[in-house]
Amino acid sequence: MGRLFGTDGVRGVANADLTAELALGLSVAAAHVLAEAGTFEGHRPTAVVGRDPRASGEFLEAAVVAGLASAGVDVLRVGVLPTPAVAHLTGVLGADLGVMLSASHNAMPDNGIKFFARGGHKLADELEDKIEAVYEEHRTGAPWERPTGAGVGRVRDFGEGFETYVAHLMSVLPNRLDGLKIVLDEAHGAAARVSPEAFSRAGAQVVTIGAEPDGLNINDGCGSTHLDLLKAAVVEHGADLGIAHDGDADRCLAVDASGNEVDGDQILAVLALAMREVGTLRGDTVVATVMSNLGFKLAMEREGLNLVQTAVGDRYVLESMKDNGYALGGEQSGHVIVLDHATTGDGTLTGLMLAARVAATGKSLADLAGVMERLPQILINVKDVDKSRVNTSGELAAAVADAERELGSTGRVLLRPSGTEPLVRVMVEAADIEQARAVAQRLADVVKSALG
């Protein structure tokens, strides 16, 4: 059996890969593993369970709740809320476990299960491995120990979760948004109620699109993976800016008043300068991945800020932040982590902080995002090659060295084997897009011949 847990929980096509039986079994296994680890010692355990609005989330939530309660865990069912809201509630309610049912930016047929440890942090890898091993052991025959009588878990709806989370967002907002007109694209997802409420309470004039989830339309042509609707709406309504979330609202991308995209790198740059100004950017350091645009790195150097780069994936960004005490990190895709106020990427919080900076400075989002120039970036996926040899080929190393000499300090080359497919990603940045395209194609040809 392949590993169930990926970098962001267990994910697959709902009712095909991710079945009710799997959801129930993993929930029981999680309860047993956490009990053995001493998490529940001395008290009756509690879990917070939330979901995004996908139709499949209804039966998967029922399975997760049944599994936890059957293992003696009391369940607070918070309903449809963003992933960062479930993480926050897990922390502030003192719960032993949080469970979010969502496949984030994936298409509607997919779903996923993400577990949070006490405090609202992602479960450690070794605990995920243990849960998977225990699940597999019992799936193939060993019976569970089950409580009876008063020992079974109790289930109740926790409708206060919405207000608790929105109040938290308001409490950490640095300043109000009065005078701003903002278009919000909620991707017909988990933030369809939360985000408009938060921006309105903060004083913004709000226009919403993609805020009518019906269980089937999540991420469908809208949200952070499809910005065209938001760009058009911002221009049409004469808004100051637009904010786009994905299905579970842990991401945020933005659009300026002219309808131009402002990506995660630019958002990070704006927030980094804002946080340095008020003394909350610890170590004057921002954490990002190796896929961040070279323009971001150059901007941080110019502003006298340090940049720590990690492997691709918000989990690696978060690890670096926690290990070294940094306050801000994120990805080009819009996963932005403000660790003083959230334990995970929080799209609503990010959007609020970005809008707050616009309001506080009186500058347009385009002006603020202009702190960095996004260099042209060409990405070519070279398929059907032996990706395991990408770091050992002398021919490839020589070609990369030649390319780096040609590009100089204003260009960059990155070759990366895909984590899930038999392909190598060739990424080239340069001040001139035609040069970037030519160098990328030349390297892709070498990858094909050297590793094919």
Under DSSP, the state recorded for 362 is -
Give the separation between CA 85 and CA 249, rounded to whole angstroms: 9
Answer yes or no: is 104 a known binding residue: yes
Q: Is 116:86 a contact under the CB 8 Å cutoff?
A: yes
Just list the catalytic residues: 104
Answer yes or no: is 248 a known binding residue: yes
Answer yes or no: is 125 a known binding residue: no
Q: Which CATH number is correct for 377-451, 3.40.1190.20, 3.90.1580.10, 3.30.310.50, 3.40.630.30? A: 3.30.310.50
Q: What pLDDT sits at residue 392?
A: 80
Across the chain, which has 452 residues, the per-10-residue mean pLDDT values are: 73 96 97 93 96 98 98 98 98 97 95 96 91 91 90 98 98 98 98 98 98 98 97 98 97 98 97 98 96 93 96 89 97 95 97 98 98 92 88 88 90 83 88 93 92 84
CATH number of 5-159: 3.40.120.10
Asked if the domains 5-159 and 377-451 are classified in one and the same CATH topology, the answer is no
Q: How many residues does the chain have?
A: 452
pTM of the model: 0.92
Ordered by start, the domain boundaries in the chain are 5-159, 163-369, 377-451
The 3-state DSSP composition of the chain as helix, strand, coil percent (nearest 5) reads 40, 20, 35
Task: Specify the 3-state DSSP secondary structure of 108.
Answer: coil
Token reading at 311: 């492997």
Pairing of strands 241-244, 181-185: parallel
DSSP 168-218: HHHHH-SS--TT-EEEEE-TTSTTTTHHHHHHHHTT-EEEEES----SS-T
Q: What pLDDT sits at residue 56?
A: 98
Q: Can you identify the CATH homologous superfamily of domain 163-369?
A: Alpha-D-Glucose-1,6-Bisphosphate, subunit A, domain 3 (3.40.120.10)
Answer yes or no: is 246 a known binding residue: yes
Q: What pLDDT sits at residue 1?
A: 42
* CA distances (Å), origin 415, targets 291, 312, 373, 402, 435: 10, 12, 23, 14, 17
**Residue carrying structure tokens 């409708």:** 159
